[in-house]
Chains A and B, each alone.
Chain A
Amino acid sequence: MGTRDGWEETDMSGTENEHEAERVEYYLEFERHLERLQQEKRPRRPRRMTPGQAKAYRMAAFFRAASPGAAEPTPEFAARLSAQLEQEISGRRRWLRALLPAPRGKQVSRRSLLTSGLSAAAGLAAGAVLGGVVEQKIASAQTSSAWQDTPLVGLGKDWLPVADVAEIVPGQMRQFRTDTIVGYVFRNDEVNDQDDGEPEPEWIAMSAACTHMGCIVAWNSNDRMLHCPCHDGAFTRYGKVADQSKNYIRSLPRMNVQVQEGKVWVQVPTPRSSSDPAQY
C-alpha cells in the first residue's frame, strides 16, 4: 500500500504505517455505510477518503456482491427495465409506422393493435390500446351518424381516478393514462351547447386513440380541437370528426366519467392482470 500519492494528502498525515492514519470516525462512518448496503439502499460515502478507506469501501461493495443472491436483479426490476426499454424501442419505430397505409375496410388486426400499444406505453404519441385489452373495430361501412356509438370494447367495471378536479381547466382537455388506455377528460364550459341537437354533459371522458389508425390525438388549445399526428385528422372537443368530408372516421369512444371527492373517475377497460394503479 501507499506508494501512490494519496488522493487526499491532508488526511494521510504523511505516514505509510498501516493503521496509523485511521480514526475512530472512519469506523463509525464505515459501519453506517455497511448498514445502508445491507438494507440495499444508496449509501453515503465520504467525499474524501484516504487510500486505505477507498480500499475498504471498494471491497465492501465487492463482498456484498458475493453475498448469496444479493447481486441478482430482482424480477420486478427486470420487468420494469424491460418495459422502459420497450418504450424506447417503440419510440424509435413510431415514425416508420405512421407512414404505413391504413388498413381499409377491414378490422384492425390484433397485431397492429398490439404494436401500437407498445407506443402508447411510451407516452410517445401513438396508439392507445395496450396489450390487446381493447379491440376497437372499424366496421367496413360506417355512417356519419354513428359517431356517438363508437363502442369501447373491453370496458370493465374498474373505475380509476385519472385527475384531480382542481387541475382541470374548464374548456381544456386533460390527458390521462392508465395501464389500459390513454384518454382525455374534458370539463365542458358550455354545458348548454347543443351539439347536433344533443346537449353535452359537463364532464366528458374519451379515448385518445384516433379511430383511424390508433395514433394518440393531441389537444390544441388554440383551435380547441384534437389533432391526429398521423394523417391530419381532427376531432372537436366533443370527440366528433371535425371535417365532414372525413365522415367515414368514427368519433372518439367515450367512457363513463364521474366526479367524487375532488377527483375525476373514469371507467376504464379491464387489464388482464388486475390491480394496476392508474398513472396520471
Chain B
Amino acid sequence: MRRRNMNVAERAVGKRGSTGEYTGRNSATSKASSGGDAQAFRTLYQENLGVIYRFIYSKVGNREEAEDLTSQVFLKAVRGLDSQRGEQSIQSWLYQVARTTIADYWRAFYKVRATSLEAILEQGWEAPAEERVGLTSAHLEGRVQAILELLPPHYREVLICRFLLNLSIKETAEQMRLSEANVKVLQFRALKKAAEVSERNGDS
C-alpha cells in the first residue's frame, strides 16, 4: 500500500500530462466516468493533480491553502465521480469543482454580503468558466511574462525581485536602491497595475 501510494504520488508530480503511463491501459480521462472505478480514479488523480494544484495555487498564492483546497477538490471528486458530471470532460468537471471550492472558500472567509461576493467574483478571484484546460507551469510563467512586458520598468523590476527571485523586502530595496517603505508602495501599485493590464488582455 505504501509503495503503491508513493508510485501514484511520484507519477502525479513527476510525469504530469503523460497519459496512460501508469496503468498500461489507455488514459482514464475518458474512461473514469464509468462507475467510479478505483483504478480509473487513480489515473485521473495522477493526470490532474498538477493542473488543479497550480490552478488553485494561482488563486491563493501559498502552499498551505493550496494543499487544503486541492484536497477538498479531489475528495469531492472521488465521492461524486459518477453523479454530477454530465457531458463534461473529466478535466473541465474538475476545474468546475475547483472553482466552486475556491468560491465557497472566499465566501466563508469574507462572510460577505451578496453584492460584495459578486464583486469578488467579478474581479477574477474565481476563474472564468472556460479556464484553459491543462494549466502548465510554463503557461503560468508565460502569462506572467506577458504581463511583465507591458509594465513600466520599475514596476517590472520590483515584481521580478519579490516574486520571481523571491527576494525579501530588504534585499529588494538594496537591489533597487530604494527605501523599504518605497518598495512597499511600489510593489502594491505594481500588482494593481498588473491586474489592470491582465484584465485588458482578457487574461485573468
- On A, residues with C-beta under 8 Å from B are 1, 4-8, 19, 22, 26-28, 30-31, 34-43, 45, 47, 51-52, 54-68, 70-75, 77-79, 81-86, 88-90, 92-93, 114, 117-118, 121, 130-132, 179, 271-273
Residues of B within 8 A of A55 (CB): 123, 191-192, 195-196
A38 → chain B closest CB, angstroms: 6
| Inter-subunit contact A30/B196 (CB<8 Å) | no
A-B contacts besides A56-B192, A66-B140, 20 pairs, CB < 8 Å:
A31-B184, A34-B169, A41-B62, A56-B188, A56-B195, A58-B123, A61-B58, A61-B59, A62-B144, A63-B164, A66-B163, A67-B163, A73-B49, A82-B5, A83-B5, A85-B78, A89-B78, A121-B1, A272-B2, A273-B3
CB-CB under 8 A for A78 and B140, given A34-B187, A52-B192 = no
The reply to whether the CB of B83 lies closer than 8 angstroms to some CB of chain A is no
Q: Considering only CB atoms, which chain A residue lies closest to B41 in the complex?
A: A89
A128 → chain B closest CB, angstroms: 12
- On B, residues with C-beta under 8 Å from A are 1-3, 5-6, 8-10, 12-13, 36, 38, 41-42, 45, 49-50, 53-54, 57-67, 70-71, 74-75, 78-79, 109-112, 115-116, 119-120, 122-125, 137, 140-141, 143-144, 159, 162-164, 166, 168-169, 181, 184-185, 187-189, 191-192, 194-196, 198, 204
Q: Point out the residue from B62, B116, B184, B192 that lies within 8 Å of A43, measured CB to CB.
A: B62
Number of A-B contacts defined by CB within 8 Å: 214
Residues of B within 8 A of A179 (CB): 2
**Can you show 26 pairs from A to B with CB atoms below 8 A apart?**
A19-B189, A27-B181, A28-B184, A40-B64, A57-B191, A58-B204, A59-B198, A60-B163, A61-B62, A62-B144, A62-B204, A63-B162, A64-B62, A67-B163, A73-B12, A74-B63, A78-B8, A78-B49, A81-B9, A81-B67, A81-B70, A81-B74, A85-B74, A118-B1, A272-B3, A273-B3
Q: Considering only CB atoms, which chain B residue lies closest to A129 in the complex?
A: B1
Q: Considering only CB atoms, which chain B residue lies closest to A8 in the complex?
A: B116
A29 → chain B closest CB, angstroms: 10
**CA of A82 to CA of B78, assembled, Å:** 11
| Inter-subunit contact B192/A59 (CB<8 Å) | yes
Residues of A within 8 A of B109 (CB): 45, 47
Return the 5 tightest CB-CB contacts between A and B, nearest first: A61-B61, A55-B195, A7-B119, A65-B58, A78-B9
| Inter-subunit contact A84/B185 (CB<8 Å) | no
| Inter-subunit contact B188/A22 (CB<8 Å) | yes
| Inter-subunit contact B187/A4 (CB<8 Å) | no
**CA of A6 to CA of B27, assembled, Å:** 46
**CA of A275 to CA of B168, assembled, Å:** 37
**CA of A118 to CA of B168, assembled, Å:** 45
| Inter-subunit contact A131/B3 (CB<8 Å) | yes
Residues of B within 8 A of A82 (CB): 5, 8-9, 12, 42, 45
